[in-house]
């Protein structure tokens, strides 16, 4: 068993998950990174190298969070290597677009499988291992779209609303177990990650917000204009996640949604 704290992050190869890994390494954690990418992928390998460069031991595992055997194996491997799981961050997720009446089964089922069932599966094994060790912190990632309806985002909204319900239920169950295991959920607004760096996302913003951006670079630059669209940087979300993981003050609440939105919900 390692003397260092250990964090497990889903979707840990790149984007927001990679930022989480880097910042946890900076405060002394070893990292288990689960992702659909193979660790040999240059993007995943670059994240591993950066985190290891900060002094962390990294266990990268190609994992399908929609697969029970994959998740069982990944958590077992993490426990075998480190003997502890102090923090689990259910970060992995996808987004797709379409008016509710246009959606087909495949698109809805994929979002449910990855965002909602994937988070449930992550929470399930996190709770099992944390109950065994007697402590821990589980941090789910939802969205402001888990708090309000968003046009053309039915699949994203339904899954992100569901994550908040899951968080509150698990937090209640863990509280009633009497163990110091806390479960909270972070709800960011739009973040500068690869999820937003697509033409589909730009088209969605143009359609719903009356904009006329040609590309995502132009979309990100809009915040410099009066009344422009405001995006978070990945570090803004990560700082809240690390606070929930590390702060003694964060033990004063559980089952809560923490909104990081630059005023988007006002």
**Residue that the structure tokens 């379409």 belong to:** 98
**DSSP annotation of 114:** I
Burial per residue of 82-114, b for 16 or more beta-carbon CB atoms within 10 angstroms, e otherwise:
bebbbbbbbbbbebbbeeeeebeeeebeebbbb
Q: Which residue is catalytic, options 29, 125, 156, 201?
A: 156
Which residues partner with 182 through β-bridges? 137
Q: At what angle do helices 154-177 and 118-133 cross, to 10 degrees?
A: 10
Per the document, the length of the chain is 266
DSSP annotation of 153 reads B
Q: Catalytic: 156? A: yes
Residues acting as catalytic residues: 156
């Amino acid at each position: 068993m390692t003397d260092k704290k250990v964090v497990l992050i889903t979707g840990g190869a790149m984007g927001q998950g990679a930022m989480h890994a880097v910042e946890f390494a900076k405060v002394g954690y070893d990292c288990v990174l689960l992702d659909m990418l193979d660790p040999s992928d240059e993007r995943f390998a670059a994240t591993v190298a950066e985190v290891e460069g900060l002094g962390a031991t990294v266990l990268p595992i190609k994992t399908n969070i929609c697969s029970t055997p994959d998740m069982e194996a990944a958590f077992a491997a993490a426990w075998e290597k480190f003997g502890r799981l102090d923090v689990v961050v259910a970060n992995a997720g996808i987004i797709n677009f379409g008016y509710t009446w246009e959606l087909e089964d495949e698109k809805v089922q994929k979002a449910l499988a990855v965002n909602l069932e994937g988070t449930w599966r992550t929470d399930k094994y996190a709770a099992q291992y944390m109950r065994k060790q007697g402590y821990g912190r589980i941090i789910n990632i939802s969205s402001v779209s888990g708090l309000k309806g968003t046009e053309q985002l039915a699949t994203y909204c339904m899954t992100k609303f569901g994550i908040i319900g899951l968080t509150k239920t698990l937090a209640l169950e863990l509280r009633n177990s009497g163990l110091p295991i806390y479960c909270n959920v972070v709800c960011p607004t739009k973040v500068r990650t690869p999820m937003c760096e697509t033409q589909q996302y730009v088209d969605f913003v143009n359609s719903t917000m009356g904009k006329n951006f040609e590309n995502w670079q132009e979309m990100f630059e809009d915040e410099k204009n009066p009344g422009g669209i405001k995006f978070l940087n990945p570090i803004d979300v990560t700082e809240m996640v690390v606070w929930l993981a590390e702060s003694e003050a964060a033990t004063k609440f559980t089952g809560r949604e923490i909104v990081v939105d630059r005023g988007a919900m006002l």
